[in-house]
Every structure is written in structure tokens, then in C-alpha cells.
Amino acid sequence: MEAGPRGLGRCAVCFWLAVAFDSLGLVVLLLGVFVNVFFYDLLIYAGAIVIFLSLIWWVFWYSGNIEVPPAELEDDVGLLKKGGGGLRGIGGAVRRLSSRVSGSIRNSFRRNGGPASAREGPSQGSRSEASGAGQQQQVVVSMATITPQGDTSRTGAGGDTAART
């Protein structure tokens, strides 16, 4: 068995990229602070952004070096444990039972054409709605544009009100 990674770990490239981004960002930021140029604010912001982007490489380096023993990984990725007995046998039996039950439910829906509420006929539809089962129905909504119309008794031919004439 391997003793484990030494030094920088398995992701040395990400480590060196993070260090390079940090150094470049720090140099650009310090140039913006201490050098008398008219675009110093651009240098300060650019340096801060480059340092912020180095966090991506630090996260890659750290997460790439996380080690999880295979015994802990078995439960998460569904690997079957070798050797039976004790709780392992019970866990396997429960897993098989769960697979059978869910498979039979899934197959019964396929065989019968869907849930019971979708297969009801027109005579049973009103009964299911009254019992609250809720059958899907299509609702048609018509929309029309309504323009506001003025009171015709108050307007004249030229659009003037009757009070002015």
C-alpha cells in the first residue's frame, strides 16, 4: 500500500497556479498603491481581482488532495461490501427488498397505463372530483384587448366636451 502523497500532494499544478496568481495579483495591487500613475485605480482593482481568482486554484488544490478511504466510499457510491454477515447481510436484504417493491410498483403503472385517476371514464370523473382526487382538465381562457371608450354623450364632433360648446 502506498504511504500517501508527499509534499504538495497530487495537484501540484493547481498549487503553483494559485501561488502564481497570488504573487501576480499582489504585485499589480502594490503597483497601483505605491506607483504614481494616472490609472492607479485600475491596477488596484485588477490586482484584487487576480488575487480573488487565485482562490479557485486553491480550492482545486485542496479538494484534489482530500483522501477518502474506500470503506467510507462504499456507502456513497453504491459499491457492494465484500464478505457477508452481521449488518451487511441485513443491509443487502433490505436493499434487495426495496428494489423489488419499487420495481413492482413501477411495472404496475406501466402495465396499467398510469395512475388510477388518469384512467377513469367520464362517468367516474365527477365522482373523483367530488371526492377531491383532482383530475387534470384542460381550461380554455380567451383573452381580448379592450380599449377604453369615452362617454359619447359628453363629446362633440371635434373631440371637445359638451360643456365647451
| 46 domain-assigned | yes
Residue 81 clears pLDDT 90, i.e. is over it? no
Please count the structural domains in the chain. 1
Please give the average per-residue pLDDT across 6-31, as a whole number: 93
* Side-chain-side CA neighbours of residue 138 (13 Å): 2
> What confidence score (pLDDT) does residue 128 get?
45
Region of poorest pLDDT, from 37-51, 55-69, 146-160: 146-160
pLDDT band at 1 (very low <50, low <70, confident <90, very high): very low
Q: Give the rounded percent of residues in the chain with a pLDDT score beyond 90.
A: 33
pTM flag (> 0.85): no
* Distance, CA of 15 to CA of 59 (rounded, Å): 9
Please state the rounded mean pLDDT for residues 134-162: 67
Q: Give the model's pLDDT for residue 80.
A: 57
| 48 in any annotated domain | yes
**53 pLDDT exceeds 70?**
yes
**Considering only CA atoms, which of 80, 60, 85, 62 is closest in space to residue 70?**
80
Question: According to the model, what pLDDT value does residue 30 have?
Answer: 97
**93-113 pLDDT, tens digit each:** 778 888 888 888 878 777 776
- What is the span of the domain harbouring residue 37? 12-66
Average of per-residue pLDDT values in the chain = 75
Q: Is 143 inside a domain boundary?
A: no
Are the C-beta atoms of residues 44 and 29 closer than 8 Å to each other?
Answer: yes
CA angle 28, 30, 33 (to 5 degrees): 115
CA–CA separation, 111 and 113 (whole Å): 6
Looking at this protein, which amino acid is placed at residue 59? Answer: V
